[in-house]
Amino acid sequence: MAKYTYSYYPGCSSQKGASSSNLMKSVQTMCEELDVELKEIPDWNCCSASIGYASGSELPRITLSARNIALSEEHNPGETIVATCAACWLATREAAERLSHDPQLKAEADQALAEAGLKLKNETPIKHMAEVLVEDIGFENIQAGVKKPLEGIKIAGYVGCQTNRPFGIHGESFENPVYLDKMIEAVGAESVPTYEKKVQCCGGALAFSEPEKSQEMIKGIIEAAYDNGADMIATPCPLCQANVEIYQDQINERYNTKFNMPVVYYSQLISVAYGRSAEDAALDGQIIPAKQLEEIAKK
């Protein structure tokens, strides 16, 4: 038995071969190290993310998440659901809350779920992986297991939107959450508490549909990291990671900048600090290589 067990909802972008597979990989490594067992929800479906709203209006969208909760309650009874993707976490938690406040909506969702032979109790707590680290495991325990402190690396903690709002991590402020900075310090790196873009929106799904508007925002996020002397950016959100990392070429072209800023996950930081290989930490999944992390991993 692992020390901590959860019902795991990986989400579409974290699947193998998908845009955030490096998150999935490094989370697995991190969980091995922290003695966390993740029991995947069997046959989970997409949450429809923050863009599903337009075609899947309120009830269909909520029913999608209700299906995942129902499956978890059936197959992983009593386990807290944990998601690594901000959008997945948000959609699931929002659905659970809306259903518990609105009996009419719940009755309708039940009817729809019945079509798929499912039943929803809606009694399951839903957590983000960051909450697991901060609340269940704690900074002290994370720090205790560090084998190779990430000394000499200055990392801007970029929390983004949906990990931070509207729910956020309990006790943190929406305007200036500090848990990611604390996590960065726990693994021995230097945080950037003055990083003013830490909760700035990256454009989310609009990075696809409105590239110009989004890239202007992404530019600001990277620029501020450079201005604060950061070596790399770390984030808990797969959409943030992708948006901030992969468009740097296009931004360089559009704005005549010379950005080459690695963007990594907190789970990659922990994996490396815990002495795991670059491959285990999914550093090969970077478009912009995080060389300083690779070096530490090699040592």
Partner 1 sequence: MSDLNTRMIEKYRNDFLKEVEANVEEGEWVKMCMQCGVCSGSCPLGKHWAHPPQEIFMMIRAGKREEVLTSDSMWMCTSCYNCIVRCPRELPITHIMHGLATYSKKLGLVPKGQPTATFAEIFWNNMMKKGRVNELKLGLSLYFKDGFGQGIKNAMANQKLGMSMMKAKRMSPAEFFGGHGIKDVGGLQKMIKKAQELEEARMKKFD
Binding site for partner 1 (CB under 8 A): 12-13, 15-22, 43-46, 48-60, 63-64, 67, 108-109, 111-113, 115-118, 161-162, 164-166, 168, 174, 199-201, 203-206, 208-210, 213-214, 217, 246-247, 249-250, 284-287
Nearer to partner 1, 52 or 157 (CB): 52
The residue behind tokens 């959409």 is 239
Q: Which two tokens stand for residue 207?
A: 């990075």
Edge-first strand listing for the sheet containing 232-235: 190-191, 154-157, 232-235, 263-265
Nearer to partner 1, 58 or 295 (CB): 58
Residue 75, exposed/middle/buried by CB under 10 A (0-12, 13-18, 19+)? middle
Nearer to partner 1, 57 or 277 (CB): 57
Residue whose C-alpha is closest to residue 204's, from 69, 118, 91: 91
Min CB(227)–partner 1 separation in Å:
19
Q: Which two tokens stand for residue 190?
A: 């230097």
Min CB(295)–partner 1 separation in Å:
19
Min CB(84)–partner 1 separation in Å:
15
Nearer to partner 1, 46 or 178 (CB): 46
The H or E element spanning position 217 is: helix 211-227
Residue whose C-alpha is closest to residue 28's, from 2, 67, 64, 46: 2
Min CB(205)–partner 1 separation in Å:
7
Nearer to partner 1, 190 or 223 (CB): 223
Min CB(116)–partner 1 separation in Å:
3
Edge-first strand listing for the sheet containing 126-128: 36-40, 4-9, 81-83, 126-128
Nearer to partner 1, 127 or 197 (CB): 197
The residue behind tokens 């060389």 is 291
Min CB(9)–partner 1 separation in Å:
12
